[in-house]
Structure 1
Amino acid sequence: MLDTGPADEPFAIAGDKMPYAKRSPVGMWSRIVCAPCEQSFHADDEFLIRLVRNLPKLPTLNDSDGSAVGTVLKDYDAQEIKRSVLSVFFRAALSEHEIFQQVKLGPYLEPLRRYIADGDVGAPQGMEIVLRHVLPPLGRLIVSPVRVRFGAVSAYRLYLPFLTAAIKVDNRDWEDGPFRAAQLTAGFTPIALRSERPSPSEMRIITGIHTKHGRQIDRMFARYRDRYK
């Protein structure tokens, strides 16, 4: 169970298939699978909680004009981040909760199960991860995991508080560019790409959600609007 902040800082949880928006006082996930199962992932979740809480304190990666293009996850191990994110993704694939219904892993599910449950060395082939640090207030809006394409490569977007994980479910490599450079890789300092605004595909999703749940979401974010102008 991920609990990333105090109770007076809610996250909005919404998805295309959900009949209403939810206010979550304890972060994104209250329970993905059964309680005993959740306990077995306690260490992974605690690791992610510490990472999310520490994001504002981490150094930025700047491009040639001085603008921040990434967050350097200094002193964090890429493989540990990868395992913790995939443990959430694995539970999402097993969950019967409505917010996770789009997660269908097919032939990737069993290799992922072995990696999570049996301690197989190395993540399943074709499941590389790129992280994105999403700044407030957008980082407080949690959307259902969605399947997307980055060029020809198939992947899922998994939304965590202030982090989005692009999880590849494809044996082809990311195309040349920021994703290939930022892919979590053993032995290298992990980097999360930095974003203050949604991508065009995310804007379509968020616009659709806001059309259905606009008043609820506006109420959830009203107290933070001035803070993040």
Structure 2
Amino acid sequence: MSLINGLDASADWVAKDMEAMLRECDALIASKDEHFARLAAGVEKLQAEMDQISRERAVVVADREKAEQVLRTFHEAVEEGKGLRQSRGRAQSRLRVVPAVPESAPADHGAADAPRAGVKEEAPATSISAAGDSDAVVRVTGERSVAVMRIVTSDPDRSWTPRDIAVRLEGQDQGGDHAAQSRARALLDSLAKRGALVKRREGDDRRCVFRLAAAWEAA
């Protein structure tokens, strides 16, 4: 609504013009409010997405740190295993079995060294007194191997058969099992190769037995 040139505005015309202006302002305010509401909703949705992404990132970062720690521990274990194997190789290269000197050894060493007739031994027996020489101490590794050495040491003068060891390791019921005796024989053979035991054959049936050969310690 506008005035005609050269005419003064009347009170009625001014009132109507102001009412029209109010309606225009109300419509404009409503439009701005609607626009603001849309923007606020968008900001809220965007903030929610940002929070979700932030939480997911934190989970991934924690997983990465765990994986890095596992990898570091694995590398350390590998290096430790390499060092242990190398030290075991050096220690085994220094091992030697020192025969025990009998208390009633004759003065004539030539006679003492002569083999007894009818007795066949694969290696000379030794006594625990050899522990006085640090090089004679055989280091035994492995839980079952250590268990076998403890059994043999409990009666060092006894000749142990694979069945005897199987009974002690796996019980009376399992001791007669062929597989149990085979496992026991494998352990005894391994310890004999290390020098901790001596392997021989005894009796008319020439059965294979094992005896304590050297001082030992669990590695």
Query: Same fold judged by TM-score > 0.5?
Result: no
Select the structure that is richer in strand: 1
Q: State the TM-score bracket (shorter-chain normalisation).
A: under 0.3
Select the structure that is richer in helix: 2
Answer 1 or 2: higher relative contact order, Cα 8 Å, separation at least 6: 1
- TM-score w.r.t. structure 2 length? 0.25
Asked which structure has the greater CA Rg, the reply is 2
